[in-house]
Amino acid sequence: MTDVTEAMLRPSEDELIAAYFAPLAGAGAHGLLDDAASLASAPGQDLVLTKDLLVAAVHFFNDDPPGDIARKALRVNLSDLAAKGAEPLGFLLGLALPQDWTADWLKAFAEGLGSDSAAFACPLLGGDTIRTPGPLTISITAIGAVPSGGMVPRGGVAAGDHIYVTGTIGDAALGLKLRHDAAAGRSWTQALSAAAADHLRRRYLLPEPRVALRGSLRRHARAAMDVSDGFGGDLAKMLGLSALSARVSIESVPLSAAAREALSLEPRLIETILTGGDDYEILCAIAPADRAAFEASAAADGTTVTRVAETFDGGQGVLFQAPSGEILRLEKLSFQHF
């Protein structure tokens, strides 16, 4: 099929909205036939809004499955809502399609988006679709709600608080590095087991937002944020708002079996694990008196949490301590766009 024929078969903007996105529309979206959506906020609740942009060749590869690209775009926003303790209400989608988009690609994208929209009870409320001379760009604004005054802030950590993190750290960053290093023929990628490689690649492609923890965070956390740019850098941001420090033993950082296998093959990957980002786990600060209750509540939610540090006064930020007692000197603490 020629490019001209393919272009002729593409639906118009109105047709693609009706075919692919209108079936995802929630109450208040008016079937995506209006210029705006309406959203009723319940008495005694605050709205929580968050936005993430994803760009091809920056946040995902052009040849990643379109359904997984869509799911990742929604999930990274749901991760932000979860860290704030918010229940999702819906989302707005901005989609800038490159010149070579196809109807089949868009159909698969919409199916993936619809699958997660239903699974996480977060319906599409509206948005905009354009064509761009640049790369595929996806913008999602997610909207959630918390009881009035109940949003868990990023600031608010106190000296003596215990820092917890959900899940495991470093898998996604290792999955990205695996793809780059495999193309370059790095030896650790060839020695890594197929099961470990599949796990790491999958974690990069499809994060797991810790939505089940939101109630526990509202009840027990002084502060929380999701780990998107890198464990070290994001923890430093949270501590910096209160001019606090934390010493993190690298042995306390929760790692998957796949990450441990990769690290055994290439010890220098520890920096990728600690600073690479794309984890979409949740960091939170818990007062000493609330530790037991928080751990019990998280267990009841089915969410694994690990205590990684205790905060103390001083502006030293995050100190990573090796088993030898030596403080690691890292080139940077997180991914930075600029």
List, for residues 182-197, the tens digit of each pLDDT value: 999 999 999 999 999 9
More confident residue, 183 or 11: 183
Q: Which tokens belong to 220?
A: 């027990």
Spatial separation of the C-alpha atoms in residues 272 and 54, rounded to whole Å: 21
Q: What CATH number was assigned to the domain covering residues 162-321?
A: 3.90.650.10
State yes or no: 80 annotated in a binding site: yes
Spatial separation of the C-alpha atoms in residues 35 and 134, rounded to whole Å: 26
Pairing relation of β-strands 162-166 and 87-97?
Answer: unpaired
User: Which CATH architecture group holds 3-147?
Assistant: 2-Layer Sandwich (3.30)
Q: What amino acid occupies position 168?
A: T
State yes or no: 278 annotated in a binding site: yes
Predicted confidence band of residue 248 (pLDDT cuts 50, 70, 90): very high
State yes or no: 100 annotated in a binding site: no
Cβ-contact 117, 123 below 8 angstroms: yes
Q: Which residues fall within 8 angstroms of residue 164, CB to CB, at 6 or more apart?
A: 283, 284, 285, 286, 294, 298, 305, 306, 307, 308
Local structure of residue 30 (DSSP, 8 states): G
Asked whether the predicted pLDDT for residue 125 surpasses 50, the reply is yes
CA 42 to each of CA 145, 155, 186, 218: distance values in angstroms, whole numbers, following the listed order? 9, 26, 55, 18
**Overall size of the chain counted in residues:** 338
Q: Which tokens belong to 269?
A: 């990957």
* Cβ atoms within 10 Å of 14's Cβ, excluding its own: 10
Predicted confidence band of residue 330 (pLDDT cuts 50, 70, 90): confident
User: Cα-Cα-Cα-Cα dihedral of 60, 64, 70, 76, to 10°?
Assistant: -40
Q: List the chain domain ranges.
A: 3-147, 162-321
Question: Can you say whether residue 217 is alpha, beta or left, with left for phi > 0 and alpha for psi between -120 and 50 degrees?
Answer: alpha
State yes or no: 14 annotated in a binding site: no
State yes or no: 256 annotated in a binding site: no
State yes or no: 229 annotated in a binding site: yes
More confident residue, 35 or 123: 123
Q: Which tokens belong to 142?
A: 């997610």
State yes or no: 41 annotated in a binding site: no
Domains 3-147 and 162-321 belong to one CATH topology: no
Return the pLDDT at 4.
46
What average pLDDT does the segment 187-211 reach? 97
3-state secondary structure of 248: strand
Distance of CA 127 to the CA centre of its chain: 21
Return the pLDDT at 55.
96
3-state secondary structure of 256: coil
Spatial separation of the C-alpha atoms in residues 231 and 2, rounded to whole Å: 46
State yes or no: 154 annotated in a binding site: yes
Return the pLDDT at 9.
67
Cβ-contact 214, 302 below 8 angstroms: no
State yes or no: 335 annotated in a binding site: yes
- 37-41, 130-134, 280-284, range with the lowest pLDDT: 37-41
State yes or no: 59 annotated in a binding site: yes
Predicted confidence band of residue 139 (pLDDT cuts 50, 70, 90): very high
State yes or no: 128 annotated in a binding site: yes
What value does the mean pLDDT of the chain take?
91
